[in-house]
Amino acid sequence: MVVQNVVWAVSIILMAAVVGVFVWVADGASRHVVDHAPLTAAAYRLRPWLFLILALAMVGANWRTLIELPYRAVASARVLAAPVQRVQVVGEQWDWRITPNQVKAGTPVAFHVTSRDVNHGFAIYDPSLRIVAETQAMPGFDNVLRYTFEQPGIYQVMCLEYCGLLHHVMRATITVVPR
């Protein structure tokens, strides 16, 4: 939970900074009248260059990320043929029903994920809170997420799709026992 506390603190500080700017402007900065024509002219001289930099960055980013399309199928035939532990996952505001919630390491798990109300994000985090697998939980759909746990431990499930007032308490655990 340490990372979340840091994120929370940083968010509060940034929000306070935004509020501070609003207060500063409301409190008098806006009463100080400036001729904005020279400022506009300077900004417009800069604008084509900023646009060019942005365009080059976008071309580079697209080239780097799309060059490997179409992505190869993740699961090999051998993986698909292996024995599978089936786990049913149902998301519902604001809880998860995971049956069973204990699986073995080393054997593939097929999570059949659905929702009873709105879209949820079914995200699995390892004991050090690094995300290892994720899929959407959608009403009316059976989304199959395949994942093989290599290390035993207590894995956290957290909702990764904002789903209402108590989204942040929508958590569960999956226990992975040694093979």
Q: How far is the CB of 160 from Cu ion (least distance, A)?
A: 7
Cα–Cα distance between 146 and 151 in angstroms, integer? 16
Backbone angles phi, psi at 163, to 5 degrees: -130, 20
Q: In what order do the strands lie in the sheet with 109-115?
A: 95-99, 85-92, 109-115, 143-147
Is residue 157 close enough to count as binding Cu ion by CB under 5 A?
no
- Residue from 98, 158, 163, 176 binding Cu ion (CB under 5 A): 163
Is residue 89 close enough to count as binding Cu ion by CB under 5 A?
no
Which two tokens mark 139?
Answer: 């009403």
Q: How far is the CB of 41 from Cu ion (least distance, A)?
A: 48
Q: How far is the CB of 119 from Cu ion (least distance, A)?
A: 8
Q: Collect all residues with Cβ–Cβ distance below 8 Å to 88 and sequence separation of at least 6.
A: 97, 98, 99, 112
If the CB atoms of residues 146 and 167 are measured against Cu ion, the closer one turns out to be 167
- Residue from 87, 159, 172, 174 binding Cu ion (CB under 5 A): 159
* Binding site residues, Cu ion, CB under 5 A: 159, 163, 167, 170
